[in-house]
Amino acid sequence: MKAQLILDTETTGLDGRPTGFQADVIEIGLVAVDSGGGEIFSDAWFVRQPDAVLDDPRADSAFRLTNIDRDLVREEGLSVTDSQVRLLGALQRASDAGVEVVRAFNQGFDFTMLTRNGFDLDAGALPRGECIMLAAMDLMGPLGCLPPASEWVRRNNPDQQWKWPRLTEVVAYLNGKGHAIQWTEGHHRALGDARLEAAVAHALDLEAARPHQMALPL
């Protein structure tokens, strides 16, 4: 199994919900794990955003979900410039420890959010690995554990046969295979979610290396 760095972000919401809203990163968490799934190191910090972003009422639901205090982000958050330095330092530290790739559960979301907020992952010491969510889809779909992709998804992604799995579905699948992945107390916080996703990524790598039989849907 590969040693890997798992990254997670918390944001002020989702783009376009409501229409015209653009979300921003407010927290970054990361966990480096070795080839056996053991934690090498972890880190997390707030990313400071302007008051207009933090106080936007359209971000209220995100702050309720994460239970992040806006004032903590204001007071303790690092600027994007300082956050980039810290992130690149973590990527280098992970590389020095033998980590091979950086990944995220929903890579299209997390990495796009970071790029739009001024971060440059490609300037770091680690290449991007496979999206954890898509790795789960490729494993679970052929086993009958996911329904077919919707017509809208297939129209926009012709090669996609199955729906994207939610993290809850992936954890249920893996625990059904004998893994013991526990939801963390820090769920919906960047570090807690990164730890959970690191356990998921390691378990998926183990499962992908094993022969499989058809399974019943979740």
Domain hosting 172: range is: 4-208
Percentage of the chain surpassing pLDDT 90?
A: 82
Domain annotation covers residue 40: yes
Instruction: Give the integer Cα–Cα distance in Å for 130 and 48.
Output: 29
Confidence check: pLDDT of 186 > 70: no
The segment with the largest mean pLDDT, out of 115-124, 158-167, 170-179, 180-189, is 170-179
Largest interatomic CA distance in the chain: 53
Mean pLDDT of 144-173: 90
- Per residue in 33-87, pLDDT (tens digit) is 999 999 999 999 999 999 999 999 999 999 999 999 999 999 999 999 999 999 9
Domain annotation covers residue 214: no
Mean pLDDT of 18-33: 96
Domain annotation covers residue 58: yes
- Per residue in 103-116, pLDDT (tens digit) is 999 999 999 999 99
Instruction: Give the integer Cα–Cα distance in Å for 116 and 165.
Output: 25
pTM: 0.92
Computed over every residue of the chain, the mean pLDDT equals 92
Domain annotation covers residue 216: no
Task: Give the CATH number of the domain where residue 169 resides.
Answer: 3.30.420.10
Cα–Cα distances in angstroms (integers) from residue 114 to residues 97, 121, 126, 154, 157, in the given order: 24, 8, 16, 27, 23
Domain annotation covers residue 143: yes
- Asked if 205 and 179 touch (Cβ cutoff 8 Å), the reply is no
* CA proximity to 164, closest of 190, 199, 140, 186: 140
Confidence check: pLDDT of 216 > 60: no
Give the pLDDT score at 106.
Answer: 95
Give the pLDDT score at 210.
Answer: 79
Beta strands in the chain (DSSP E): 4-11, 25-33, 39-46, 101-103
- In the structure, what pLDDT confidence band is assigned to residue 213 with cuts at 50, 70 and 90? low
Domain annotation covers residue 198: yes
- Per residue in 97-145, pLDDT (tens digit) is 999 999 999 999 999 999 999 999 998 889 999 999 999 999 999 999 9
Give the pLDDT score at 76.
Answer: 97
Domain annotation covers residue 74: yes
Confidence check: pLDDT of 23 > 80: yes
Structural domain count, the chain? 1
Domain annotation covers residue 160: yes
Confidence check: pLDDT of 217 > 90: no
